Amino acid sequence: MALRIPEKILETVEIASYLDGAIDLEATGEERFSSYMQADDLDVSTLATMPNESLSLFTMQSLSEDQMALVSSDMQSNSALGFQTAARFSVRDFSGDEWKPRFSVLHGHRALTRDSFGQLDRDTQMFLGIVAFRISSLGKLKG
C-alpha cells in the first residue's frame, strides 16, 4: 500500500461576498469595487463599510493538486459544477451570523456539503468559485 504524499501547506485568504450589505459602495468607489467584484484584487481591507457594520468573511484556501484535478474533471462536463466544486473545497470557515457552513468529505477531501453550499445565493457561489481558481492557479491573494 502506497503512502499518500501530504498536501503542501496552502495559503488562505479572507474575502467577503461582493453582495455583502455592509460594503459602502459609494465610499469604496466604483473602480475599486469593480476590481474586487471581478476578483482582480481580493484585498478586503480596501472595501469601505457602512457605519457600525462589519463584513461577513469567508476564509478560503487554495486548492491542492488533487483537488484541482477533480475540479478540472467537473469543468469538462459542466463549468458551473466545476466552479461549485472549487468553492466547496476552498471554503474553510465563515465569520457571520447569517450562514453556518457544514462540511463533509468529497472525493477524500474536506468540503462544504451540497446543502450548505446551496444556501448561498448563486452570485456568491460563483464568486467563491472564481476566487478559488484565482488563489489556486494564479497564486493571486492580493493585487
pLDDT of residue 97: 83
**Helical segments of 14-54, H only:** 25-28, 30-37
pLDDT of residue 142: 41
Q: The pTM is what?
A: 0.86
pLDDT of residue 79: 86
pLDDT tens-digit readout, 9-56: 457 899 999 999 999 999 999 999 999 998 888 999 999 999 999 999
Distances (CA, A) of 88 to 4, 26, 46, 62, 115: 22, 31, 26, 11, 11
pLDDT band at 140 (very low <50, low <70, confident <90, very high): very low
Closest CA to 100 of 80, 115, 84, 85: 115
pLDDT tens-digit readout, 100-137: 999 999 999 999 999 999 999 999 999 999 999 888 87
pLDDT of residue 137: 74
d(CA 131, CA 95) in angstroms, rounded, equals 17
SS3 143: coil
SS3 135: helix
pLDDT of residue 51: 96
What is the domain partition of the chain in residue ranges? 12-137
pLDDT of residue 55: 96
